[in-house]
A and B are shown apart, each in its own frame.
Chain A
Amino acid sequence: MRHTIHTMKKGDKAIIKDFDIDLVPLKLLEMGCLPGNNVELLQIAPFGDPLYLDINGSHVAIRIETAREIEVELIEVHL
């Protein structure tokens, strides 16, 4: 199964694999959203969107439509 930030559950940790550069804003890259970096899903907003992430030590919130584009590899699943 293809995992993206969107398919992660709260508390999951993953490594960013790949994404289509045209669909992800430059600002997010500058915040540390780059292949190989860690990402943890910290909180999900009350109506399921946006997602509150820890990317490479930066705390940011993004919308699902962006999260869907960022492929990840799960490394730690929250129980």
Chain B
Amino acid sequence: MTELVTGTGEPTAADPTAAKQGAEPSVARVSQWADIRHRFFANKLAVVGLAIIVLLILTAVFAPLLAPHDPLRQDLNATLQSPGSGHLLGTDALGRDQLSRLIYGSRIAVIVGLASIFVALSIGIVLGALAGYFGRWVDTVIMRTADIFFAFPLLIGAIVIILLMGRGVLPVVLSLGVFQWATFARLLRSQILSVREMDFVHAAQALGASRSRIIRKHILPNSLTSVLVYGTSNVGIAIVAEASLSYLGVGVDPEVAEWGNMISAGRGFMGAKDFMWTYPSIAIVITALGFVLLGNGLRDALDPKLR
């Protein structure tokens, strides 16, 4: 075990112990999607999680239809109005409709959450696979680079990138992606290493399967599943991180209808106008919870022994 560095890298994965014990991803997993689906839908909490996510995405897609007002339209004669008939969730300091901002905020959440994980997964899978396949110096270079990125706490790393690029959606997506790929790369690499040594791979080798066939048919599918599951549950983390960046004043632009911005704007009104920050807080909690439930459900469906 020379690679303890990586060994300690992925315990935050959906199944933190998987990498360590890596012993029994079932050979037949790939062919058992029906089983997995069955187990997933049998898990009520997982279904709730899925429902939340679907609802979130629908809200984001149909935001213009759902929102009663333009989320950017100011009305200085109606600022800081308490929730009521005109504005269901009240108005902010510029008289903008809070409900509409909340609805439009789901767009930023969805876009940033999915896009940043997509960026992280893309980099992580390519580099992790390269490291796992080629080993030797390729492995060393990639994994040492991963160490550097891994050592930046996510928010700190993201803040550095945003300092450089300025506020905005794209900088947020990139910064969150760039500082999360290392985890995926490590996870994939260690999965590849452990899958490679498994009986079914040895069996395939003994049966005379070609190297590339083994990689394509056996190693990659079995290694990727846990990476993708981990990626799914990390969408929630990315959304929370994005909101946190805005809360700190280093996220998307301040006028953008976004939950972290809304909480940040409402922060000073604590005790006086609590509606300003409580509703976006609830939105974030529900979203984050949805992803946690979904992630747990996926994990359990894939690897039911720990339920």
The answer to whether A and B assemble together is no
